[in-house]
């Protein structure tokens, strides 16, 4: 019996393998055609895996915190001196900011100008890092039940990270601005020249569709333009790092090495779910990044 069963089983295995490979190819083509089924399959898997990954990530952040703590202790003295200096410097800026804010308010009153709405935001924890050689994306632990939708911007205190491309019930995928498929409308803050920030899987995305006459200088700030909807206007993105082989590139503000938490900005303020306005939104009254008043 065994002698007959073994070759039979081999044939069955080979058939199963062929069938499965064809199925996987099918999924690839369906996924390419932006099929709903593939997306739902994917978010179903991430929804199940997110709580597990959250637990698994806990020891890593504990170790990380411990290392940071030790490092901070070692550098305490220098840090203190540096911070004193910075406080001195910032005190001047603070005075300037207060003066400008008052001035700005009075100008707005004169012009009857209604500024951009403050955006609601939800903090999310990064539970999986999809920064493989081909894709640059992150998985976070919030989803539709937290009011997240496709197209929302993901930022840190430093600047833009990317935008939400897939949403499950309790998980969401963020396509980072460095990904090959990422296109973000931006403008050069100083010259107001519009461009598209196009990722190419390197750490420095390209600036494309820049008007011909635009002159770029390294160090110029790049912010989101808000054109085409979706992203709010004026989120800090990065600085022009230079032109390499005729391609202008941008160095993002975000510290890619330390992406533990991100904030998802709900731009469409009218659609804020009720749970956003209480509890989860707004960390200790700090303004959401990029929501400051434009001068």
Q: Which residues of the shown chain bind another protein in the complex (CB under 8 A)?
A: 13-14, 16-17, 20-21, 23-28, 30-32, 38, 41-42, 45-46, 49, 52-53, 56-57, 60, 64, 126-135, 137-139, 173, 175, 180-181, 200-202, 256-260
- Closer CB to another protein, residue 42 or residue 280? 42
Query: Which residue do the tokens 């069963």 mark?
Result: 5
- Closer CB to another protein, residue 21 or residue 269? 21
**Euclidean distance between CA atoms 5 and 67, whole angstroms:** 57
Least distance between another protein and beta carbon 201 (Å): 5
Least distance between another protein and beta carbon 34 (Å): 11
Least distance between another protein and beta carbon 3 (Å): 17
**What DSSP line would sit under the chain, residue for residue?**
-HHHHHHHHHHHHHHHHHHHHHHHHHHHHHHHTT-HHHHHHHHHHHHHHHHHHHHHHHHHHHHHHHHHHHHHHHTHHHHHHHHHHHHHHHHHHHHHHHHHHHHHHHHHHHHT---PPPPEEEEEEEEEEEE-SS-EEEEES--GGGT--TT-EEE-SSSEEEEEEEE-SS-EEEEETTSTT-EEEEEETTT--EEEEE--SSSSPEEES--TT----TT-EEEE--TTSSSPTT-EEEEEEEEETTEEEEEESS-GGG-SEEEEEE--GGG--GGGTTTTBSSTTPPPTT-SPP-
- Closer CB to another protein, residue 137 or residue 220? 137
Least distance between another protein and beta carbon 120 (Å): 25
Between vectors from CA 141 to CA 182 and to CA 53, what angle results, nearest 5°? 105
- Closer CB to another protein, residue 119 or residue 137? 137
- Is the separation of the CB atoms in 258 and 279 below 8 Å? no
- Closer CB to another protein, residue 138 or residue 153? 138
Least distance between another protein and beta carbon 47 (Å): 10
Least distance between another protein and beta carbon 121 (Å): 20
- Closer CB to another protein, residue 57 or residue 239? 57
Least distance between another protein and beta carbon 27 (Å): 4
From residue 236, how far is each of 212, 222, 233, 288 by CA, in Å? Answer: 23, 6, 9, 12
- Closer CB to another protein, residue 130 or residue 273? 130
- Closer CB to another protein, residue 8 or residue 28? 28
Least distance between another protein and beta carbon 56 (Å): 6
């Amino acid at each position: 019996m065994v002698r007959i069963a073994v070759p039979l089983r081999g044939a069955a295995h080979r058939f199963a393998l062929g069938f499965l490979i064809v199925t996987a190819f099918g999924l690839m083509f369906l996924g390419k055609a932006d099929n709903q089924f593939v997306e739902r399959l994917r978010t179903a898997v991430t929804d199940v895996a997110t709580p597990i990954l959250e637990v698994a990530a806990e020891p890593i952040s504990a170790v990380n915190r411990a290392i940071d703590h030790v490092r901070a202790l070692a550098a305490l003295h220098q840090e203190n001196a540096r911070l004193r200096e910075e406080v001195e410097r910032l005190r001047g800026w603070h005075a300037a900011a207060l003066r400008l804010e008052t001035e700005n308010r009075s100008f707005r009153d004169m012009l009857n100008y209604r500024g951009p709405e403050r955006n609601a935001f939800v903090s999310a924890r990064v539970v999986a890092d999809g920064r493989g050689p081909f894709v640059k994306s992150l998985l976070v632990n919030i989803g539709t039940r937290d009011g997240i939708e496709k197209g929302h911007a993901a930022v840190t205190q430093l600047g833009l990270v990317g935008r939400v491309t897939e949403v499950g019930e309790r998980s969401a995928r963020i396509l980072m601005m460095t990904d090959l498929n990422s296109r973000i409308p931006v403008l050069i803050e100083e010259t107001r020249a519009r461009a598209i920030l196009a990722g190419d899987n390197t750490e420095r995305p390209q600036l494309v569709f820049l008007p011909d006459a635009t002159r770029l200088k390294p160090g110029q700030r790049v912010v989101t333009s808000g054109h085409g909807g979706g992203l709010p206007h004026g989120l800090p993105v990065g600085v022009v790092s230079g032109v390499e082989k005729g391609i202008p590139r941008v160095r993002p503000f975000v510290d890619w090495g330390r992406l533990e938490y991100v904030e998802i900005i709900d731009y469409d303020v009218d659609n804020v779910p009720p749970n956003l306005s209480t509890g989860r939104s707004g960390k200790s009254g700090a303004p959401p990044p990029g929501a400051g008043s434009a001068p």
